[in-house]
Amino acid sequence: MIDNLYVDFDDTLVGSSEVIVGLLNKRFNTNKNVKDLTTWNYTNLFPTIKGIEIEELFDTQEFFDKLKWKDGAVEFINRFPDKIIILSKGNALNLTRKKLWIRKQFPNIKFIGLESDVSKASINMGRGDCIIDDHADNLLDVKAEYRIMFESFKHVEWNDKFYKHIYGKKMQDYNYNKYNCSYKINDLIMDSWKDIEEFVDNEVDK
């Protein structure tokens, strides 16, 4: 039974990296493809880029003007509007613009914005909760009953911890069994909102 759906925003509900790579292509007069992205800070595509430059791009109105929902994301939100809480990290300006952008389509959807240095584990999740995120650290740090990786990109470095956990390989420098739960934590990898909707639908009806 799923009671709450904590859903990430960037590269989960929306194609943030596609927009960022497009803006960087415009700046550097390049033609990089977002499908080739392997590093969280975009440096495999743009080696000279600095973190502060990326953060500034995420804050711009141009970023939000170009932003689009991922296929099936709007339908998913419409299917479970009372269960969804969009949970996203960013600085103050980014979170303000993010909330306004979401409100244009979904004026009543719940939104929780966390500063970039605050863990999503600060949100009390447990039995009956499901988190959907594209970043391993945000998944492995919480004890939601269902943890779904939305795989926007295949086998990228920032999700290595989750792949090792899922496929039973030895974890180093990460104790993913740190929680003593009275319930089983179910970890899944999906790359389609249609498939996630079907999964959640089945669990909600239990």
Looking at per-residue confidence, does 113 or 1 come out higher?
113
**Do residues 52 and 110 share a domain?**
no
Residue range 67-104, pLDDT digits in tens: 999 999 999 999 999 999 999 999 999 999 999 999 99
> What do you get for the CA distance between the two ends of the chain, in Å?
5
**Do residues 49 and 81 share a domain?**
no
- Domain span including residue 90: 4-14+69-204
**Do residues 59 and 73 share a domain?**
no
Q: How confident is the model at residue 181 (pLDDT cuts 50, 70, 90)?
A: confident
DSSP assignment letter at 90: E
**Do residues 32 and 108 share a domain?**
no
Of 51, 66, 81, which residue sits at a domain end? 66
Q: How confident is the model at residue 205 (pLDDT cuts 50, 70, 90)?
A: low
The whole-number pLDDT of residue 206 equals 62
Separation of alpha carbons 61 and 63, rounded Å: 5
Domains held by the chain: number: 2
pTM over 0.75: yes
**Do residues 100 and 55 share a domain?**
no
